Structure 1
C-alpha cells in the first residue's frame, strides 16, 4: 500500500489491464515481457469509511512454444488477464498478495512467395479447395523518431531525478495512397522519478501524445488493406533543456513495418490421382477469412466533477485521449467486446474569475458484433473508432455521449496440403514385361505432404492394403519426407 493511503477495510472493485513491453522470437519459441496494471477501489479502515483508490504494476516474463518460429519472423502477441486474486498478507495488513492467471497467444508469420497448381492436368482426377488469402502486394520498414515536450502535472512535484521510463505506441488510423501508407498514432510515456521535495518521494506520471508519419510501399493502392507492426526500439525522457524540473522532453525511436495486402480467392488443387503425374505437395498454413462485421454503439456516461475540481459553468471542448480494447471473446456468430475510451473535457469553472479547467473520465463500454460463421477458438481483430462525441453539464453532473464504430474481422487458421508442381512419372517398362506383378510390392520415397492414404490412392491401393505391406512402420499415421514405404501392386483394368 502506498504510504499516504489509509488501511483497507473492504475491497470494492479491481480493474486490471496488461501492457506488453518486449517480444522476442527465438528458435521455436516466443518470449514475452510485460506488466499487469492493477487498480483497486476500497473502503478505508477509518471511522468515516471513505472510498479510496490505489494502483500498482507487476512485471512478468513468459514464453510460448511455437514450432518453426525463427528470429526475424513477424509475431503477433495477445495477452489477456483471465483471473486476478488479491488477498491481504498475514504478516502485514498493508501488504497484499496478488495471484494472476494470464492467457498468452503468439502467432508467428513469415511472408513467402509460393506458386501453386490451380489447373488440373489433362486426364487426371483432382481435388480442389477454395482458399481466401491475403496476397502481400508490398512490404517496407522504416525507423521513425517522434518527440514531444510536456509539463509535469500540477498535482505532481517537480522532477529531481528520472529513475525509469517506458512507452506504449499504437497505430490508430491508416490511409493507403499510391505507393505510400500514411498512419496516425498515439504514444503513451510512463515516467518513474524522484520528486524535488525534502523527503524525495518516488512518483509516477504518464503522458499521451499523437503523431503522424508515412511508409513508402511500392504497389500500394487506395482500395488495399494494410497491416502494421510497431516496435519501440528506444525511449528517452529527460528534463527539457536539461535542467527544467517542471517540463519533460520525450524522444522515441520506432521501427514501423507496413504490409499492404489485398484479399484473393484461389482455387487450389489439394490432390492429383489416376494419371501418370508425380505431384509435389507443400503444407500451407493460412489465416482464412471467416467474416467481417461492423456495429455502431451509443455510449452514455454521467458523473459529478471530481474533487478537487470546481463545478462546471460551461463545457468548451470534449476530446478523446485514448481508446482501447481490453477483452474480446468469440461465441457462436458473435464477437463480444469490452473496452474503454478516455475522455478529456475542457470547461469554464463556476468561479468568480471563471478560469478554464480540464477533467478526465474513463468511459467503459460492452458491445458485440455479429460475424456469421464465427466460432470459439478462431481469431478476431477488433478496431474501435469514435465517430462522434459530445458532453454537457446539467443537474450537477457532466453527461457524455459518444457513437462508436466497432469493426470485427474473424479469421481461422487452417493447414492444407496444396500441389505446387507436377511432373510426368518416368516409365521404365520393358516390352513384354510387367513392372509390378500383382501380389508384389515396390518402394516409394515419401515426399512433403504425403500420407499412406494419399500414396495408396495414387497407385490404386486402399489404406488397409498400404498398412498391410508396411508393418515395419512404428506409426503408419506419421510418415515423413525421405522415408521409404512399400506400395502393393494392384491389378490394372
Structure 2
C-alpha cells in the first residue's frame, strides 16, 4: 500500500469582489450648530455580521462618517460630528456553505453628502464600496505521498501546506477599565455614542496555549456638563493580554488570531470618571508548516484513487518596519492661529499603492492627523484642522516575488503636534507590517472510498432434536446462544423442555 499523510487544511471554497452602493441619511446632533460649509468627510466601513447560505454570502455592515464643518454662526467656529449608516450586501460565492469561515474587506471608494431638501440638518449619503469576501473551510484528507507500486507518476510536485493543529478555537473575553476625563476635555453629563475597535498587537504560541495581546480603542461621543451643552468626543485605549487554549499547540508553530468587538459600553461614575466594558471574541488557528516532497500529481493509472484540487493559501512570509514622519505646515488661511494645542490623533491611514519586488514590498500611503486647538481669537473658541502626510517605505519579506499577494497593515504608534511660532510641527511614528502569500492549487490524490458491502443475512437452518439433547448443548454445538434460538422459535415456551424428533430453527452463528 502506497504511503499517505493525513492533513487538516483550510481549503478556499471561493471568493468574490463586488461594488456596492450604500445610501442613507445622517443628521447633525441636537447640541451641534447648523452647518454652513462642509470642510471634510471621512468614511469607514466595518462588518456587523455575516451569514452564509449555499453559494452566497450576506454581509451586514456599518458605514461610519465623520464630518468636519464650519458652523452657521457669527464666529464661524469649526465643529465635527459623526453618524452611522447601516447597509446589507450579498455576494455570490460558489462552494460557500453554512458554518464556513470567512474574511471580509471593505474599501470606501467614494462618498458624497447632499443636504436634505426637507431638513438642513440632515444629509443624504451615497457611498461606493468595494466589498471582497473569501470563504474557507477546514478539510481533513489523506494525501498520497508516493507513487503506488506498479504505477507511474506522470508528474510530481513539492507541496507546502499549513496543517491545522487541533481545531479552530474561540474565546469570549471582557476588557474593562476605569479612567478619568482628559484634562483638556469638559466633564461629561451624558454619553451619546461609543465606537470600539480592537487591534491585535502581538500573538505567540506556548505549550497548549496562544497568548494574544492587543488594544481596544474607544471613541466616545458625549454631551458636556456646561451651559451650552456642547457635544465633544474623546479617545481612550485599553490594553489587554489573554490566552486561548489550543491542545497540542507548541512553541514555534504558526498562529493566526482575529478579534471582534461584540459589545462596548461606556458610562459615567463619580469623580468625575468613566468606566468601559468591552466584550470581544478571540479566534485563533494554530498551524504547522509541512512540505511534502515529490507528491504524485498525475498518475498513469488512477484506479483506486480520486484526484482533487488542493486549493490553499500559502504564506510566504511577513516583515515590518517603522516609519517616522515629520512635517511643518502653516495653519490654513480659513483658520485662526493656534494659541494652544489641546489634542492630536491619527484619524485614519490609507495604503494607496503596493508593489512586490524580489524579497521586499514597496508601500505608499497617507496619514490623516486631526488637531484640536484653542484659536487665537477673542472668544477663544476651540477649532479643528486636518493634516495629510504622505509616506513611502519598504518591508523586507524573504521569498516575496512579483505577482504574489500582499496584505499591509499600518498602525500609528505615536503622534505629536507642537506649535512653532504660527506654524504646526507634526511628528508621527507608524508601524507598517506586510504579509505576502500566494494561492496554491496543485492536484493531489486521495484513496478512493471503498463502498461498504453489507453482508446478506444468513438464513437459519433446521435441526431435529435427538435423545440426550438440551437447548444448551444444541446452542453450544452451533456457536449460538440459547436466547438466539428462543428468539426465532416462539413455539418453545420453556427452554428446559424439548422432545426427541422436534424440529427447531438454528440462527446464524454469533461469530459469522
Residue 271 of structure 1 corresponds to which residue in structure 2?
298
Shift of 1:286: 0.7
Distance in 2 separating the partners of 1:190 and 1:46: 27
Report if the CA contact (8 A) 2:319-2:434 is conserved: yes
Residue 259 of structure 1 corresponds to which residue in structure 2?
285
Greater CA radius of gyration, 1 or 2? 2
Shift of 1:309: 8.2
RMSD: 4.4
Question: Which consecutive residues of structure 1, in runs of 5 or more, have no partner in the other structure?
Answer: 346-358, 425-493
Per-residue CA deviation, residues 51-97 of structure 1 (Å, 9 max, x unaligned), is 65444332222233333333433222111101112234445554433
Shift of 1:185: 1.1
> Cα gap change, 1:367/1:176 in structure 2, threshold over 3 Å: closer, same or farther?
farther
Residue 158 of structure 1 corresponds to which residue in structure 2?
188
Per-residue CA deviation, residues 451-476 of structure 1 (Å, 9 max, x unaligned), is xxxxxxxxxxxxxxxxxxxxxxxxxx
Superposition pairs of residues 84-103 of structure 1, within 5 angstroms = 84-91=111-118, 93-103=120-130
Report if the CA contact (8 A) 1:140-1:259 is conserved: yes
Superposition pairs of residues 332-481 of structure 1, within 5 angstroms = 333=357, 336-338=363-365, 340=367, 364-367=389-392, 369=394, 372-375=400-403, 379-384=405-410, 394-395=420-421, 399-421=425-447
Shift of 1:220: 3.5
Task: Determine whether 1:129 maps to 2:154.
Answer: no
Shift of 1:324: 6.5
Distance in 2 separating the partners of 1:166 and 1:25: 26
Task: Determine whether 1:173 maps to 2:173.
Answer: no
Shift of 1:391: 7.5
Superposition pairs of residues 203-282 of structure 1, within 5 angstroms = 206-240=235-269, 244=270, 246-267=272-293, 268-273=295-300, 275=301, 277-282=303-308
Per-residue CA deviation, residues 254-292 of structure 1 (Å, 9 max, x unaligned), is 22122122333334432211x474321233221134565
Question: Which consecutive residues of structure 2, in runs of 5 or more, have no partner in the other structure?
Answer: 1-27, 373-383, 451-512
Per-residue CA deviation, residues 267-324 of structure 1 (Å, 9 max, x unaligned), is 4432211x47432123322113456555543322446899998548xx9xx9x97797
> Cα gap change, 1:220/1:400 in structure 2, threshold over 3 Å: closer, same or farther?
farther
> Cα gap change, 1:165/1:233 in structure 2, threshold over 3 Å: closer, same or farther?
same
Shift of 1:101: 0.7
Superposition pairs of residues 5-24 of structure 1, within 5 angstroms = 5-9=33-37, 11-24=38-51
Residue 378 of structure 2 corresponds to which residue in structure 1?
none
Distance in 1 separating the partners of 2:415 and 2:119: 46
Residue 65 of structure 1 corresponds to which residue in structure 2?
92
Count of residue pairs the alignment pairs up: 398
Report if the CA contact (8 A) 2:64-2:82 is conserved: yes
Report if the CA contact (8 A) 1:281-1:418 is conserved: yes
Report if the CA contact (8 A) 1:20-1:33 is conserved: yes
Residue 6 of structure 2 corresponds to which residue in structure 1?
none
Distance in 2 separating the partners of 1:276 and 1:113: 21
Distance in 2 separating the partners of 1:50 and 1:200: 16
Shift of 1:108: 2.2
Q: Secondary structure at the match of 1:418?
A: strand
Distance in 2 separating the partners of 1:397 and 1:420: 69
Q: Secondary structure at the match of 1:110?
A: strand
More displaced 10-residue stretch of structure 1: 325-334 or 253-262? 325-334
Q: TM-score, normalised by structure 1?
A: 0.65
Which one of 137, 158, 169 corresponds to residue 140 of structure 1?
169
Distance in 2 separating the partners of 1:179 and 1:324: 37
Shift of 1:184: 1.6
Residue 323 of structure 2 corresponds to which residue in structure 1?
297
Report if the CA contact (8 A) 2:366-2:390 is conserved: yes
Distance in 2 separating the partners of 1:246 and 1:157: 7
